[in-house]
A and B are shown apart, each in its own frame.
Chain A
Amino acid sequence: MSGHDHSHDHSHDHGAPAIPEGTDTFPAEVVARLEQDAKELIGRYPKPRSALLPLLHLVQSEEGHVSRAGMRFCADQLGITLAEVNAVATFYTMYRRRPGGDYQVGVCTNTLCAVMGGDEIFAALKEHLGVGNNETTEDGKVTLEHVECNAACDFAPVVMVNWEFFDNQTPDSAKRLVDDLRLGNDVAPTRGPAGLCTWKQASRVLAGFDDGRAGEGVQAAGPSLAGLKLARERGWSAPDPAHLPAQGEEEGK
């Protein structure tokens, strides 16, 4: 979940902000192409409207953000109003309301990561990139934000790039990471595909289209294996269903 600035931005948009200005429709070529995708997504659900979140990811994969034209496309596909789409698009933090960079760099600053150094990493990146929360570097490469807990607390502090895991970061490693992103150097997540997708490519995966990269990367790493490794070392395992201890004799309860 994308964050808000902890000290200045508590009046964020839970109400429905104005629908963004701009052209109302995609070019005919784009509509023709996306309609095929939309049809497939809608067909996966018993009721068409369930496809709205996937459709919003889809239009985000086209433009990098959810524009007025993108929302109009969703509305047309589902036979609902632009206002209904806008009400949903503004509720969920993963939909960008304005253009951003190719790489969304999210630093976890929820309590555990913040304490473990997420605050220092976020401060270092703001200074290094010369941008604030939810701002994009001038070259259009990196949008920096702080994010909420991303379910990788045992790898704290965590940085997400286009929603891929970069575990156990430090201010220095995070600065190198954003430098590499801006220079176009190869960057691979700690637990993820062999190379990083762009924001638009990642959005297409989120919409529901396979990019053929599920087999890349590790199955598990470091802390995920801590318990299993110890159990192997000590010969611990789950009870054998064929040889259960009689009731009342069990140890360690």
Chain B
Amino acid sequence: MTTLTPILSHNWDRPDSFTLEGYRADGGYRALRKALAMEPEAIVDLVKQSGLRGRGGAGFPTGMKWGFLPADNPNPRYLVVNADESEPGTCKDIPLMLANPHSLVEGVAIASYAIKSSQAFIYVRGEVVHVIRRLRRAVADAYAAGLLGKDILGTGFDLDVVVHAGAGAYICGEETALLDSLEGYRGQPRLKPPFPAVAGLYASPTVVNNVESIASVPSIVLGGAEWFTSMGTEKSAGFGFFSLSGHVTRPGQYEAPLGITLRELLGMAGGIREGHRLKFWTPGGSSTPIFTEEHLDTPLDFESVGAAGSMLGTRALQIFDETTCVVRAVGRWISFYAHESCGKCTPCREGNYWMVQVLDRLERGEGSEADLDKLLDICDNLLGRSFCALGDGATSPVTSSIKHFRQEYIDHVEQGGCPFDHTRSTLWADRPTTTGGNP
């Protein structure tokens, strides 16, 4: 049986977990001290050996990304933390930065030292004001304690860190769009190559990493690569947050080794809400093809989820029970992609716009069976043909829901409307008063 491994969340039940004193009392910043006594290259090697893969969804090996920075480029190097957490269902980095911002700041300091950068940015989505306060306070306190700024811990290493608030754009989670946004432009993805490692922020060598990836680095420095690989699977090493939401008895953050299954996680979370059964779920946010009951025992690691036809993504497990209309769910996700499409490329901008029309029509019972072929045709024109992963991701819920729930779409057509009572899905549906009464 897999058990939980609280590491980044281990101090979250301390009321002062977000303060420098609270973080230090639990051993915080010991890893920075240890790292600064190592050669930068040795830290890059350590992270490579650990097998840490990007926790922002794509799963690219973090140490390898660091190793891509060209040695002969004379421009300054930058570390940019992607804290633009906006993928529907994904809700791990925000509570992490709220409760434990110093784990990120310490990770930033170590990673910057490893890649020989003296300027780092944390690009955090704007819609979380208190998280931004906590991050800024953590950075300011770290400066005051000599953990950032000039001559850190007397080692001669200098590092400036800027917390930069975005302004509402899902696309800025795409790393090159994020860089354009950080440069003060519309957040639109760039053509790759060149990759950010070669020409990133201000056309300088840049590493862009997710919050959880960077926050995991101090634990690897302290515990070692062998410790990290003692958790998880051979190719998906280590631990990560599994974020359960929706129709589950105890939704929340469960920090566990990669490779844990939804069946195990549901066992820990009290199961599907009482009196109901699992219908469908996302393994890693709305851009990952949905799963059903048949995938309860799929190990949640990059390889196994991929082999089963989806993606591990951000481990954002959105759980829906049998009261949920899949057509409504998918339609709403596509409305999101249509709203958030940056408009740069035609397949994504137009494809999502038209899919919303078709899905709305189907949900209202005004569609036809031919609409399913239309949706799949649009998806064919999006997947692999859009400029960035936003367009690709939008096809995931559409194609996977038609694969698993084709009959439900047809039911809408045949019944001339949605067969579901949406109020039965609500948080308060099974409470004594079903009108949204006092909780």
Contact = CB atoms under 8 A, between A and B. Distances in A.
A227 B253 contact: yes
A142 B196 CA distance: 42
A182 to B, nearest CB: 20
B224 to A, nearest CB: 6
Given A117-B426, A160-B127, A238 B253 contact: no
A4 to B, nearest CB: 6
B328 interface: yes
Contact of A1 (B17, B93, B168, B320): B168
Contacts of B339: 1, 3-4, 12, 148
Nearest to A74: B184
Contacts of B340: 1, 148
A114 B318 CA distance: 12
Interface in A155-183: 155-157, 160, 162-165, 168, 170-173
Contact of B4 (A10, A193, A230): A230
A195 to B, nearest CB: 12
A50 B12 CA distance: 34
B427 A156 contact: yes
A131 interface: no
Given A115-B246, A117-B428, A120-B436, A219 B16 contact: yes
A166 to B, nearest CB: 12
B51 to A, nearest CB: 14
B437 interface: yes
Contact of A151 (B10, B125, B224, B246): B125
A121 B245 CA distance: 18
Nearest to B89: A153
A contact residues, range: 35 or more
Contact of B88 (A112, A231, A237, A250): A112
Interface string B354-394: 00110010000000000000000000000000000000000
Interface stretch (B35-43, B59-67, B94-102, B151-159): B94-102
B427 A109 contact: no
B85 interface: yes
Given A153-B246, A193-B130, A205-B129, A241 B227 contact: yes
A239 B86 CA distance: 31
Contact of B202 (A46, A151, A155, A251): A46
Interface string A206-249: 11101101110111101111111111101011110100110000
Contacts of B332: 6, 109-111, 114
Given A153-B316, A224-B95, A171 B168 contact: no
14 contacts: A1-B168, A52-B184, A91-B169, A111-B286, A148-B86, A163-B127, A172-B438, A192-B129, A219-B17, A219-B18, A219-B98, A228-B12, A228-B255, A241-B222
Interface of B: 1-7, 9-10, 12-19, 76, 85-91, 93-95, 98-99, 119, 125-130, 132-134, 136-137, 140, 162-170, 181-187, 202, 222-224, 226-227, 230-231, 233, 239, 242-246, 250-257, 259, 268-269, 286, 316, 318, 320, 324, 328-330, 332-333, 335-336, 338-343, 349, 353, 356-357, 360, 422-423, 425-428, 435-439
Given A162-B129, A245-B230, A253-B259, 5 more contacts: A49-B185, A50-B183, A156-B427, A157-B427, A170-B427
